[in-house]
Amino acid sequence: MLKPPYSRYSRIYTYHIDGTGIPVLDDPDLIGAWVEDDKTIIVFHKPKTSLIKKLCQQYNCQLFYQADIDYKDWEMGQDVVPFTISPLTVAPVWNEDPADIKIDPSVVFGNGFHPSTRLCLEALINYRSSTLDSGFTGLDLGCGTGLLSIGAARLGASSVTAFDYNSLACEVTKQNALYNNVEKTVKVKQLDLRKELPDTGVDVVMANLHHSLLAALFNSPSFWQAKLYILSGFMPHEEEQLLAALPTRPPSFLKRRSKDKWRMWALGNL
């Protein structure tokens, strides 16, 4: 996340460590850290090779990969620039122009400016005008930066709960909700959806997830309790697996859209 003296990202230095248990680091150049599959990923604004070496010795871990990356190339070179899906304009926090939502994209996957996120936001805006009443409730599964949760709050949601397994994504979502003054509407929880599913008895479930995780969720009857589902994070060649995972009587298909080789489905019990 961005903290003084940093106001935007330039180069980022990533360190992948085989092992866990490294405590939270108090370093002015730290962007963030998280644990994934028994590995720790730490990202800085500046190179920290000597610090990482010392940590590995202290906590009996091993550095197995490191990289020096231009931030433009993070997350497959996705441009982090302002965009508008009427009536909402979204911009990174370092952009000085007015915007309805300002986002720190950080280094979490699902930085809020990805085509799949835009597809979901567009669908949410469309269904807010046609289907969802003011004061609607929602879940944001795989929240990333929290853009969809914040967008829902801007569109009149009374409550949205954002979930992510990545601890840094949860921190970034909390910070972005606070920055956009919707922290009372958007609540954030760290959760492994492979092991636990939240109560889906809400008006809208937004799930921008890897296709294999979506397929696993589709197989759970308790997933299908919401009125509206906005689903993305998959490509055309992955749709067959998702179609096969749908229940015998799934919600009705309402819309299927594409952007830059990514798909979005909207399904509903309307």
Same domain? For 43 and 176 the reply is no
| Residue 214 dihedral angles phi and psi, to the nearest 5° | -60, -45
Residue 5 lies in a domain: no
* Residue 150 placed within a domain: yes
Q: Could you tell me which of 254, 257, 131 has the C-alpha nearest to residue 203?
A: 131
Q: Same structural domain for residues 55 and 87?
A: no
Query: Which residue in 16, 14, 23, 30 sits closest to 62, CA to CA?
Result: 16
46 and 104, same structural domain?
no
Whether residue 1 lies inside any domain: the answer is no
The string of pLDDT tens digits covering residues 145-183 is 999 999 999 999 999 999 999 999 999 999 999 999 999
Are the C-beta atoms of 79 and 117 separated by less than 8 Å? no
What's the total number of domains in the chain? 2
Statement to judge: residues 89 and 67 lie in one domain: no
What's 215's DSSP letter? H
β-pair partners for 232: 208, 264
Query: What pLDDT, on the 0 to 100 scale, is given for residue 77?
Result: 58
In a domain, 253, yes or no: yes
pLDDT > 70: percent of the chain: 98
Residues 171, 257: one domain? yes
- pLDDT the model gives residue 269: 84
pLDDT for 140 beyond 70: yes
Confirm whether 249 is domain-assigned: yes
Please check the confidence at residue 256 and state whether its pLDDT lies above 90.
yes
Q: Of 76, 100, 129, which marks where a domain is finished?
A: 76
Q: 3-class secondary structure for 165-205?
A: CCHHHHHHHHHHHHHCCCCCCEEEEECCCCCCCCCCCCCEE
CATH of the domain at 198: 3.40.50.150
- Domain coverage including residue 29: 11-76
> Where is the domain boundary, 50, 76, 102?
76
pTM of the model: 0.95
Residue 228 sits in the same domain as residue 114 = yes
One domain, residues 138 and 84: yes
Question: What pLDDT shows up at residue 76?
Answer: 61
Single out the residue in 43, 61, 76 at which a domain terminates. Answer: 76
Q: Looking at the structure, do residues 63 and 172 belong to the same domain, yes or no?
A: no
Tell me the CATH number at 46.
3.30.70
Residues 110 and 174 in one domain: yes
Asked if residue 122 and residue 244 are part of one domain, the reply reads yes
d(C-alpha 12, C-alpha 29), whole Å: 10
R_g over Cα of the chain? 19
41: its two tokens = 């990923």
Q: Does any domain span residue 264?
A: yes
Pair (35, 86) in one structural domain = no
Which secondary-structure segment (H or E) carries 148? helix 147-154
Domain match, 82 and 112 both: yes
255: in domain: yes
The predicted model gives 224-242 an average pLDDT of 97
Q: Is the pLDDT of residue 187 over 80?
A: yes
Indicate whether 36 belongs to any domain: yes
Residue 112 is predicted with a pLDDT of 74
* Residue-wise pLDDT tens digits, 74-133: 866 567 899 999 999 999 999 999 999 999 999 987 677 889 999 999 999 999 989 999
